Chains A and B, each alone.
Chain A
Amino acid sequence: DTGVSQDPRHKITKRGQNVTFRCDPISEHNRLYWYRQTLGQGPEFLTYFQNEAQLEKSRLLSDRFSAERPKGSFSTLEIQRTEQGDSAMYLCASSFWDRGHGYTFGSGTRLTVV
């Protein structure tokens, strides 16, 4: 297993466009998390899944943000009508359900909205 994979690594988009990021978790992990990190700040929780169920989504930043994990494996995070304020690093993490092992983070997708 190569860890948590995120694609793409970098994305530059024009304001108003939609973007989608993909995350492939560690295969044995059944929980998957999305975070956003801006420069100089700690990661900010967005949403998480246990298998295919989205158990918390109230922290998504606006209704322009949505996430899916249709078959309980990979996940996508979509941002519609991007704004310059959406520029950030988007991190995905996965874990076992018991949380005792901590999270394993991917390398992130850096989004730049121009």
Chain B
Amino acid sequence: ELKVEQNPLFLSMQEGKNYTIYCNYSTTSDRLYWYRQDPGKSLESLFVLLSNGAVKQEGRLMASLDTKARLSTLHITAAVHDLSATYFCAVDPGWVTFGEGTQLTVNP
């Protein structure tokens, strides 16, 4: 059965610091997605990574994909409070399958 594992599950960081969230998945997939969810809200698409070596950046977030290692990373640069949310990675073996999420809290 497909497993999508995120690490860490909880992350508390200070404003201005950098950090990386890791996403490992257990089956071949050439598509990987990152979503953001604010408390009580729905999911917002952040990145769609479609090939090995893909890298996408938006503001302080950068996502990359290594399909051979079955690994994606979401790197946060100089975190700000507004980035506090839960971040999900997901793969698509036929339908999008989500990891458990990483709950990020950015403290002043």
A and B associate: yes
A: which residues have CB within 8 A of B?
33, 40-45, 48, 56, 91, 93, 99-108
Known: A102-B33, A102-B45, A105-B42. A42 touches B88 (CB 8 A): yes
Encode contact with A along B79-105: 1 for CB under 8 Å, 0 otherwise: 000000000101010111111110000
CA distance A48 to B90 in the complex (A): 16
Complex partner residue of B101 from A42, A44, A103, CB under 8 angstroms: A42
Number of chain B residues close to chain A: CB under 8 A: 22
CA distance A93 to B44 in the complex (A): 11
Evaluate contact between A56 and B95: CB separation under 8 angstroms.
Answer: yes
Evaluate contact between A42 and B48: CB separation under 8 angstroms.
Answer: no
CA distance A56 to B94 in the complex (A): 9
A42 to chain B: closest residue by CB: B98
B: which residues have CB within 8 A of A?
4, 31, 33, 35, 41-45, 48, 50, 88, 90, 92, 94-101
A6 to chain B, nearest CB (A): 9
A1 to chain B, nearest CB (A): 16
Main secondary structure of the interface of A (DSSP, over half): loop
A3 to chain B: closest residue by CB: B42
Known: A42-B88, A105-B42. A100 touches B48 (CB 8 A): yes
